[in-house]
């Protein structure tokens, strides 16, 4: 995601992000403006040409500066380490910068009180799925890996993955996103840690 050139956010983008995140359009716009403003303030005028090409990307240091706004539950005693862990989790292509889409994903996942079904539905919609609305075996395993990283689950993901996939898979090679989430909600080892 981070290597893509990001265009300015238009009304269609705002509405699409609002639908998948369930955040109000004005909140999406405020997040985008804060994301861009952080980049503008930190880079300064002498880097203006570089800024034009980099304006829609955020470095780890920029992310650390706004981490408290992204995660209001962050603990001050491990602020840097936690911010780095979160940044690395959402820097999906490991290029050292977050795109706005990656930043919004981090924001949505870190908000308390957001329904986990909505939270993970957004993640699945943001993933480059081979068949929209469905997860392949590999995509389901990747998603469970993301969940383990995000929640720091003390479980063997492969065991749960095999149980989950075998209970849902019906021979077509894909499972629907809603069925995947429903099955997760019923897994006794995962359910209390996520919901």
Residue owning tokens 């995601």: 1
> How many Å apart are CA 149 and CA 113, to the nearest integer?
20
> How many Å apart are CA 96 and CA 57, to the nearest integer?
10
105 and 124 inside one domain: no
Domain ends where: 63, 88, 110?
110
Q: How confident is the model at residue 14 (pLDDT cuts 50, 70, 90)?
A: confident
> How many Å apart are CA 9 and CA 56, to the nearest integer?
10
We report the CATH number of the domain holding residue 153 as 1.10.238.10
Beta carbons within 10 angstroms of residue 49's beta carbon: 8
15 and 106 inside one domain: yes
User: 83-133: per-residue pLDDT in tens?
Assistant: 888 888 888 778 888 887 777 777 777 766 667 777 777 778 777 788 888
In-domain check, residue 3? no
132 and 98 inside one domain: no
Q: How confident is the model at residue 26 (pLDDT cuts 50, 70, 90)?
A: confident
Greater model confidence, 104 or 11: 11
Question: Residue 17 belongs to what domain range?
Answer: 11-110
**What tokens appear for 121 in the block?**
């539905």
| CB under 8 A, 24+ apart: contacts of 79-86 | 84/60, 86/110
Q: Is the pLDDT of residue 5 over 60?
A: no
Number of domains in the chain: 2
Tell me, what's the pLDDT at 171? 67
User: 49-62: per-residue pLDDT in tens?
Assistant: 343 344 467 888 88
> How many Å apart are CA 61 and CA 87, to the nearest integer?
10
> How many Å apart are CA 175 and CA 163, to the nearest integer?
14
Domain ends where: 110, 125, 147?
110
pLDDT above 70 covers what percent of the chain?
74
pTM as predicted? 0.57
Q: Is the pLDDT of residue 7 over 70?
A: no
User: 64-90: per-residue pLDDT in tens?
Assistant: 877 776 676 777 777 788 888 888 888
- The mean per-residue pLDDT over the stretch 135-140 comes to 86
What residues have CB less than 8 Å from 132, skipping those under 6 apart?
none
Q: Which of these, 93, 110, 16, 4, lies nearest to 57 by C-alpha position?
A: 4
162 and 103 inside one domain: no
DSSP class of 46: G
C-alpha count within 13 angstroms, C-beta hemisphere, residue 93: 13
Instruction: Kindly list the distances between the CA atom of residue 129 and the CA atoms of 25, 115, 134, in Å, as whole numbers in the listed order.
Output: 25, 22, 7
């Amino acid at each position: 995601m981070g290597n893509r050139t990001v265009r300015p956010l238009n009304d269609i983008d705002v509405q699409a992000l609002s639908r998948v995140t369930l955040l109000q359009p004005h909140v999406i716009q405020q997040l985008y403006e804060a994301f861009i403003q952080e980049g503008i303030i930190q880079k300064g005028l002498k880097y203006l040409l570089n800024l034009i090409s980099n304006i829609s990307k955020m470095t780890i240091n920029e992310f650390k500066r706004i981490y408290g706004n992204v995660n209001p539950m962050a603990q001050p005693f491990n602020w840097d380490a936690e911010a780095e862990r979160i940044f690395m989790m959402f820097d999906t292509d490991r290029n050292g910068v977050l795109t706005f889409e990656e930043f919004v994903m981090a924001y949505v996942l870190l908000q308390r009180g957001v329904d986990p079904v909505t939270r993970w539905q957004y993640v699945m919609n943001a993933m480059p799925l081979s068949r929209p609305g469905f997860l392949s075996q590999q995509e389901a395993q990747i998603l469970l890996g993301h969940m383990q990283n995000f929640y720091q689950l003390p479980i063997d993901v492969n065991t749960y993955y095999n149980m989950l996939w075998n209970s849902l898979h019906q021979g077509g090679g894909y499972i629907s996103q809603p069925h995947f989430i429903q099955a997760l909600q019923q897994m006794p080892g995962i359910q209390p840690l996520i919901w």
